[in-house]
Amino acid sequence: LKVCRELGVPIVPRGAGTGLSGGAMPIADGVVLSTARLNRIVRMDAYSRTAVVQPGVRNLAISEAAAQHGLYYAPDPS
Protein backbone atom coordinates (compact mmCIF):
# COMPACT_ATOMS: atom_id res chain seq x y z
CA LEU A 1 0.00 0.00 0.00
CA LYS A 2 2.78 2.39 0.88
CA VAL A 3 4.52 1.89 -2.47
CA CYS A 4 1.24 2.26 -4.37
CA ARG A 5 0.53 5.49 -2.55
CA GLU A 6 4.00 6.84 -3.20
CA LEU A 7 3.70 6.01 -6.91
CA GLY A 8 0.10 7.22 -7.22
CA VAL A 9 -1.16 3.76 -8.20
CA PRO A 10 -4.92 3.42 -7.65
CA ILE A 11 -6.01 0.65 -5.25
CA VAL A 12 -9.35 -1.17 -5.41
CA PRO A 13 -10.12 -3.16 -2.23
CA ARG A 14 -11.84 -6.51 -2.81
CA GLY A 15 -13.64 -8.53 -0.16
CA ALA A 16 -15.02 -12.03 -0.62
CA GLY A 17 -17.16 -13.12 -3.56
CA THR A 18 -17.15 -14.56 -7.04
CA GLY A 19 -16.31 -11.38 -8.92
CA LEU A 20 -18.81 -12.28 -11.62
CA SER A 21 -20.29 -8.78 -11.67
CA GLY A 22 -16.88 -7.16 -12.19
CA GLY A 23 -17.38 -4.72 -9.33
CA ALA A 24 -13.75 -4.89 -8.24
CA MET A 25 -12.10 -4.13 -11.57
CA PRO A 26 -9.26 -1.63 -11.21
CA ILE A 27 -8.71 1.13 -13.71
CA ALA A 28 -5.69 0.83 -15.99
CA ASP A 29 -2.45 0.40 -14.04
CA GLY A 30 -4.40 -0.10 -10.81
CA VAL A 31 -4.07 -2.84 -8.19
CA VAL A 32 -6.77 -5.03 -6.64
CA LEU A 33 -6.12 -5.58 -2.93
CA SER A 34 -7.73 -8.72 -1.54
CA THR A 35 -9.25 -8.40 1.92
CA ALA A 36 -10.66 -11.95 1.84
CA ARG A 37 -8.60 -13.00 4.86
CA LEU A 38 -10.25 -10.27 6.93
CA ASN A 39 -13.22 -12.58 7.50
CA ARG A 40 -14.25 -12.14 11.11
CA ILE A 41 -17.70 -11.24 12.38
CA VAL A 42 -16.81 -8.66 15.00
CA ARG A 43 -20.21 -8.23 16.60
CA MET A 44 -23.77 -9.42 16.02
CA ASP A 45 -26.48 -7.51 17.92
CA ALA A 46 -29.82 -9.26 17.55
CA TYR A 47 -31.66 -6.57 19.52
CA SER A 48 -30.66 -3.72 17.18
CA ARG A 49 -30.54 -6.02 14.15
CA THR A 50 -26.99 -4.97 13.29
CA ALA A 51 -23.72 -6.73 12.57
CA VAL A 52 -20.19 -5.38 12.41
CA VAL A 53 -18.08 -7.48 10.06
CA GLN A 54 -14.71 -7.30 8.37
CA PRO A 55 -14.75 -6.79 4.58
CA GLY A 56 -13.95 -10.42 3.69
CA VAL A 57 -16.92 -11.98 5.48
CA ARG A 58 -19.05 -13.97 3.05
CA ASN A 59 -22.82 -13.40 2.92
CA LEU A 60 -23.40 -17.04 3.88
CA ALA A 61 -21.42 -16.58 7.11
CA ILE A 62 -23.54 -13.58 8.06
CA SER A 63 -26.73 -15.52 7.25
CA GLU A 64 -25.59 -18.43 9.45
CA ALA A 65 -24.68 -16.11 12.34
CA ALA A 66 -28.03 -14.28 12.08
CA ALA A 67 -29.92 -17.60 12.04
CA GLN A 68 -28.51 -18.43 15.48
CA HIS A 69 -30.54 -15.46 16.75
CA GLY A 70 -33.71 -16.40 14.87
CA LEU A 71 -32.99 -13.74 12.23
CA TYR A 72 -32.57 -13.88 8.46
CA TYR A 73 -29.91 -11.91 6.58
CA ALA A 74 -31.07 -11.08 3.07
CA PRO A 75 -28.01 -10.20 0.98
CA ASP A 76 -28.10 -7.63 -1.80
CA PRO A 77 -29.97 -9.31 -4.66
CA SER A 78 -27.93 -7.59 -7.36
51-78 pLDDT tens trace: 999 988 988 899 999 999 999 998 776 5
Query: Mean pLDDT throughout 1-8?
Result: 93
* pLDDT of 48 over the 90 cut: yes
- Answer whether residue 32 is part of any domain: yes
In which region does residue 33 sit, left (phi positive, over 0), alpha (psi from -120 to 50) or beta (all else)? beta
| Domain region containing 18 | 2-67
| Residues 6-11, mean pLDDT to the nearest whole number | 93
* Number of domains the chain contains: 1
Task: Identify which has the larger pLDDT, 50 or 15.
Answer: 50
For the chain, how big is the Rg over CA atoms in Å? 16
Is residue 78 domain-resident? no
- In a domain? residue 77: no
Contact 11, 33 (CB under 8 A): yes
Q: How confident is the model at residue 14 (pLDDT cuts 50, 70, 90)?
A: confident
Domain presence at residue 72: no
Give a yes or no: residue 63 inside a domain. Answer: yes
| Domain assignment of residue 29, yes or no | yes
3-state secondary structure of 40: coil
